[in-house]
Amino acid sequence: MTSKCVISLNLPEDIVAPLREQFDLLTWAGKEAMPELTLQDWLADAEGLLCALSTPITASVIAGAGQLKVISTISAGVDHIDLAAATVAGIPVGHTPGVLVDSTADLAVGLMIAANRRIAEADRWVRTGQWSQGWQADLLLGSDLSQATIGIVGLGPIGEATVRRLRGFAATLLGWNRTPKALEGVEMVDLEDLFCRCDIVSLHTALTPETFQIASRKRLASMRSGATLINTGRGSLVDEEALIEELSSGRLRAGLDVFKTEPLPADHPLLSLDNAVLLPHVGSATLTTRMAMLTRALKNLRAGMSGEPLSFCANPEVYGVSG
């Protein structure tokens, strides 16, 4: 009997077709996120699950999936999965670390430039017919990265890759990491010092209970007037309500690829703010990176369905290995 596998997101048929030859597939075809009740129903007798950030895998979903052998997510982060519940249930969770480092670091620097040089504002200015004169000395003035003090919060692979790119701008670099770390050209400081000294603060740390709202109301308030917050990590790293207040006052700028709620509701206050550059969670959105992520996720899925250890496992405790 062919093993049943659930794919909780809409993937191109040429990706799915080879899996149909191996497994009895149920694939979600909707553009919106798969409802939890539907997912629970589909997983009742499934052995494998391929998912992404858009599908929360809660403890109740895991509890109802009594035959599940593997959860494979097309993402490096696993904060959309109740990892503790999966571990207790003995289910390995595969993820895709490493392959999205360069594309996400590129985007972080791109957001720094876009926010500080007001690129999105300037584009709208032209498209809406507001460019009624020629060159103007004071039009849409921004700030230079080459003269900026830039703080990197989280010096894992993506944070380090961002540092490598910023060295080319000859910026002054400050850093903070959850564990002690030394990096050439980066002055390691505490978080309070970093937020208050920097012209740009870029968030790259993993989302954990300790880093939840690491960009807190107090730290945002301590940032220099005219400073910029960049977030390509997770939306919940930021006190979003406090950030909206700072942006609404005109005191700060932001470049954001991630949000507390995704997608943003149509009436979200961020959408009305010209001093925020907003992207739809596209940090890894290059063809090369997304294919590498998918390849790694499918490798994890096939291994788990076959009862083999996953090459990239977010909860190695299920194999008796310390995380």
Q: Which residues are catalytic?
A: 234, 262, 281
With 0-12 CB in 10 A as exposed, 13-18 as middle and 19+ as buried, what is 81? Answer: buried
Distance, in Å, from the CA atom of 31 to the CA atom of 11, rounded to the nearest integer, reads 10
Distance CA 307, CA 35 (A): 28
CB atoms within 10 A of CB 51: 26
Radius of gyration, alpha carbons of the chain: 22
In whole angstroms, how far apart are CA 279 and each of 37, 258, 282?
A: 29, 7, 7
Which residues sit opposite 40 in a β-bridge?
none
Distances (CA, A) of 304 to 37, 167, 206, 320, 321: 24, 41, 25, 16, 16
Please answer whether residues 44 and 22 qualify as being in contact, where contact means their C-beta atoms are separated by less than 8 angstroms. Answer: no
Asked whether the beta carbons of 8 and 49 are under 8 A apart, the reply is yes
Q: Give the residue among 251, 112, 114 at the shortest CA–CA distance from 171.
A: 112
Q: Which uninterrupted H or E stretch holds 43?
A: helix 36-43
Determine contact, residues 163/175, Cβ cutoff 8 Å: yes
CA distance 158 to 170: 19
- The answer to whether 184 and 135 have CB atoms below 8 angstroms apart is no
Query: What is the amino acid identity at position 221?
Result: A
